[in-house]
Amino acid sequence: MKWLVTGGAGFIGSNFVFYLMDQYPEDQIVCVDSLTYAGNLETLESVMEDPRFSFAKVDIADRKAIYALFEQEKPDVVVNFAAETHVDRSVMDPGVFLRTNVLGTGVLMDASRQYGVKRYHQVSTDEVYGDLPLDRPDLFFTEETPIHTSSPYSASKASADLLVQAYHRTFGLPVSISRCSNNYGPYQFPEKLIPLMIANALNDKPLPVYGTGENVRDWLYVTDHCAAIDLIVRKGKEGSVYNIGGHNERTNLEVVKTILHTLDKPESLIHFVTDRPGHDRRYAIDPAKIHRELGWLPTTAFDEGMKKTIRWYLDNRAWWEHIISGDYQNYYSKMYGNR
């Protein structure tokens, strides 16, 4: 089978590429990424020369380039990770999020229709549901929870989800959607909570925590997410939405303290900062449907996953230090400048 994985130089997309190559040695993977600030080709260095893997620097909103790529590669499956994802950035510049997350999704589905893709899978987020109250731990997001977005980012992802469902109903495009809780693990861009706190703690810098740090997130180790998407693509019902959650709820402050304790750093490094506008209070996914229909359950407990994640960032300092310094953006020209 030939997979076209968009956003494959990003955090979850690259981990999905590695997962496929480990699990399915006969499959081919075409990785598409426009290499914006969060796309890092250094992440894919270990597979760049593998004959089963190819990379294309393409913007998913560039219709001409996407159609040319589909004409050349003729993929069986498209998994769309490509998205602008950082909430703070969406508050500053919503237009970028609309272009990539909504228009880019439409371009990919048009190409999927024209070239007979067998499954188009949209990687979405639990943020499309809005948030839950902190004083109701009995409440969870299900696939039937109404969409109620809080930021330009989540609104753009919800818009894309609705577009995907419309293409299934109107055109019969074979689609599926997954909405996942917060991921963590190797290769996450250092502006996100866990890698940012690890990097700052290692450098004895203040750890900025929004508000009082009581906002709650459900954390899922990235490899468990990859396994879930694989199952949905292969066995999930066409047109369906599947929630993917880790049953690992933690406040932001608990996460930060876990990192400090693991690294033997003082809690005095914690620095509370003014909360951002529209900051969702609690996310919590009910993954009963994917367990019931496909047999999926997460296999990585939060404490185990955090130890693995922190160890990875300790062992791969050059990777995230290149990002912080900006050197990673030169890697593409080094790889392809003379080709």
Residues catalogued as catalytic: 126-127, 153
Distance CA 212, CA 208 (A): 11
Q: Take residue 100 and report the two structure tokens written for it.
A: 């990539």
C-beta of residue 176 within 8 angstroms of C-beta of residue 239 = yes
Judge contact between 38 and 8, C-beta under 8 A: no
| DSSP of 102-118 | IIHHHHHHHHHHHTT-S
Cα 1 to Cα 3: distance, rounded to the nearest angstrom: 6
18: enclosing H helix or E strand: helix 11-23
Note whether 6 and 78 are within 8 A (CB).
yes
Give the Cβ contact number of residue 196 at 10 Å: 20
Angle at 100 between CA 24 and CA 12, to 5 degrees: 35
Q: Which residues fall within 8 angstroms of residue 251, CB to CB, at 6 or more apart?
A: 213, 214, 215, 216
Cα dihedral 85, 91, 93, 99 sign: positive
